[in-house]
Structure 1
């Protein structure tokens, strides 16, 4: 599970809830795009990443959103974390 999805599900927010909060910050994104970002099928723009970090009140950074593979472990499911 990516940091973004984990943060959202821990709050029991729906994708639509996050999209509404982003809209309040001037970022127009639909639930489909947000879902693809959560599943690492689409990359967030730097602007979207910054606003997502604001929505989650500092629990996530832009790096968590732009490079989720760095924070996702195999036992969490999803993208494997590379170990250097």
Structure 2
């Protein structure tokens, strides 16, 4: 799990919640693009990384967002109920 996804889940936010907060900060991105950034499939711009750091109020650094592969933790599979 990337640091960005981990931070979002810890706050209990949906992707749409992050998008709304980014919009208030002056950054226009849709949930699809944010999802790709969050999964490490798409690289964010330096400006987006900076805005995400602001949205998460210091829980993340730009390095966490720009280079998530350095911090990825394996996801724990939950047993089937």
- Is TM > 0.5 for Structure 1 vs Structure 2? yes
SS of equivalent residue, structure 2 residue 54:
helix
* Structure 1 segments of 4+ aligned residues over 4 angstroms from their partners: none
Count of aligned positions? 75
In 2, the alpha carbon distance for the partners of 1:69 and 1:26 equals 27
The aligned counterpart of 2:16 is 16
Q: Distance in 1 between matches of 2:26 and 2:38?
A: 20
Asked which structure has the greater RCO (Cα within 8 Å, sep 6+), the reply is: 2
Q: TM-score, normalised by structure 2?
A: 0.90
Please state how far the C-alpha of 1:72 moved relative to its aligned partner: 1.0
Report the TM-score when normalising by structure 1: 0.86
Displacement of 1:46: 0.2
Gaps of 5+ in 1: 78-84
Once residues 25 and 38 of structure 2 are traced to their aligned partners in structure 1, the CA distance between those partners, rounded to angstroms, is 19
In the alignment, which residue of structure 1 is the partner of 2:37? 37
